[in-house]
Amino acid sequence: MDKKLYKGVLIFAEQKNSNIEKISYELLNIGRQLADKLSADLSAVVLGKNIKNKSQELISRGCDKVYVYDNAVLENFQQDIYTNILSELVEKQKPEIFLIGATYTGCSFAPQLAAKLNTGLTAHVSSLEVDETTKNLKQIRPAFGKTLMVNIITPQHRPQISTVKSNIFKPAVIVENRKGEIIECTANYENILNRAKFVKFVKSEIIETDISDAEIVVAGGRGVGTAKGFELLKEFAALIGAKVGASRPPVDCGLIPHSYQIGQTGKSISPKIYIACAISGQIHHTIGIGNPDIIVAINKDPDCPMMQRATYALQVDMYEIIPAIMMEINKKNVLG
Amino acid sequence: MNIVVCIKQVPKSDNIQLDEQTGKIKRDGVEAVLNHCDEYAIEEAVRLKEKLPAKVIAVTMGPPSAQSILREAISRGADEGFLLSDKAFGGADVLATAYTLSQGIKTICSANIIICGKESSDGETSQVAPALAHFLNVACVPFVNKIDSIDSSAIKLERVFENGYAVIESTLPVLISVTKDINIPRIASLKGKMNAKKAEIKTLDISAINADENRTGLTGSPTRVANMFSAGNAHPVSCEKLTGDAKSMAKSLVEKLSAAGII
């Protein structure tokens, strides 16, 4: 493999219902930083139906080139079609770096694409830097265990492909009158391989617990122990205008649905206030909590990482303290 | 019909340590168990077997000790277990793991359905399944939370997205990864445990699966751990311990949150 043939940064601009998803703008932000460091172009690729008119916004947000595939067959994600079109584009354009959102869509096709291109893939990345000399991308993600981050590189293969967590980078801002090139691309849509066909989409009936934009989050961990405990947290959250989240262990135990999970394999949040109840604070969880102004940790174990990191650490049983806090708040509200 | 379930032996959760020299997981002296998500993959395979004539074959890549999870799969209803084990497989990343598994599966049988758990508890990447689909050259549907129907040539299923699910119709052979919403795994039956005890676990090495040694293990892995560092506190904060009984702690916290304009 001749690494010198590979240049620039490409991002996958994800769309749903012909609207560009926020993650795409987040990738443009970090992608622009990496491209500038390499003195190279930043490109985006978008696949969708009636999506061409969204290309200019990608340019306004920092892109130099947009490759657009606009066809009815691309309206919804289909594994074979997306993988094949993207691998063809990558083989032709040869980007040094290809960034994809670590969304359900991104995590579905990125590994198959990387395998097809015989290159490395680093999943769920939370920080990216590039070495100007070697052009190696430092792909940083939490490692197993408590407090270690691991820096993964792909020294001999190109492109370097990463899936990037949502809500880690801020969306790139619009710069009016920014110029770029829109390149309309096409594929042999009639004869394209499509073994696993999209039939229909069913929107979740449960109103999605959208904690990713919540300003205050109350989350429960392993120590909550019962589904009833989460009812208590929900009551508490309602009182202070917060949303409820969870770390992985209670989700694994079925105490609360996965849509509430915060962390490496759950949601990333960026609240101003984070109240961690019976959460020990393993790195897999804390990677998803952003940088809150205030962290309140409630835990019986004074030595767990969350208690060390907290702004206010309360060494106490949550079942004892939360009713007490609620009583104090109610008292205060009554007194006005 | 042949249903292959790919499973993985992982360190028991909460006890995962890294060797800071090599960047690899320390496995010595750490209790190893069946990856939690894989229980759902095995259960789904067994449920399919109850619906149509099929054989369920569990496959794993790992050290000789990984035999135990293959026995566990048999106790939960799998018919056979194959262990892909060779020194040349060590240190594999997603690409090399998927390649090795694909060579193993191709050697063992002509698979109609390949089922993987959504993710492993130690790597948490969810990435091996789609890469494996590439090497097996089969249709791929990741993050499946329901199988609606299946016959000898097609399958209809539901797969998860952020805000709902998509209904997918796929031809066979197909590779799917399953979420934990797909079923509730049964515990092993007594009969299953007896079967597991006397089952013969076949071990296949690199030559048995006809794999290229340049494509397995660390040699075949394009990604490298460059270094590791402590996550520490990216933004050190002054940690204040609130003391006293629950009532006084509650009172002082409410005062502080109130002063910060939160309540």
Q: Which tens digit of pLDDT belongs to each residue from B190-214?
A: 999 999 999 999 999 999 999 999 9
A284-306 average pLDDT score: 90
**Portion 43-62 of A in contact with B at CB < 8 A:** none
CA nearest neighbour of A271 among A234, A312, A226, A219: A219
Beta bridge partners of A231: none
For residue range B29-82, what is the model confidence (pLDDT) as tens digits?
A: 678 899 989 999 999 999 999 999 999 999 999 999 999 999 999 999 999 999
pLDDT at A335: 72
For A:10-49, CB contacts with B below 8 A are: 16
Confidence of residue A144 (pLDDT cuts 50, 70, 90): low
Contact B227 A198 (CB under 8 A): no
Query: What number is the average pLDDT over the span B161-179?
Result: 95
Q: Which residues in chain A are closer than 8 Å to B239, comparing Cβ atoms?
A: 307-313
Cβ–Cβ below 8 Å for A197 and B260:
no
User: For A249-294, what is each residue's pLDDT tens digit?
Assistant: 999 888 998 889 998 888 888 888 999 999 999 888 988 898 888 9
Which chain A residues contact residue B250 at CB under 8 A? 321, 324-325, 327-328
CB contact under 8 A, A294 and B260: yes
| pLDDT at residue B235 is higher than 50 | no
- Chain A contact set for B99 (CB, 8 A): 115
Please state, in angstroms and rounded to a whole number, the distance separating the CA atoms of residues B74 and B92.
26
Distance from B199 to chain A by nearest Cα, in Å?
30
Nearest to B161 by CA among A288, A104, A261, A62: A104
Tell me whether residue B105 is exposed, middle or buried, using C-beta atoms within 10 angstroms of its C-beta: 0 to 12, 13 to 18, 19 or more: buried
CB-CB: which of A123, A311, A324 is closest to B239? A311
Tell whether B112 is within 8 A of chain A (Cβ). no
Q: If you average pLDDT over residues B223-243, what whole number do you get?
A: 74
For A318, nearest residue in chain B (alpha carbons): B246
Nearest chain B residue to A252 by CA distance is B180
Contact: B254, A240; criterion CB under 8 Å: no
A114 touches chain B (CB under 8 A): yes
Beta strand residue intervals within chain B, DSSP E: 2-6, 9-11, 32-34, 55-61, 80-84, 113-117, 139-150, 154-161, 164-171, 174-178, 202-204, 224-230, 240-242
User: Which residues on chain A are in Cβ contact (under 8 Å) with B215?
Assistant: none
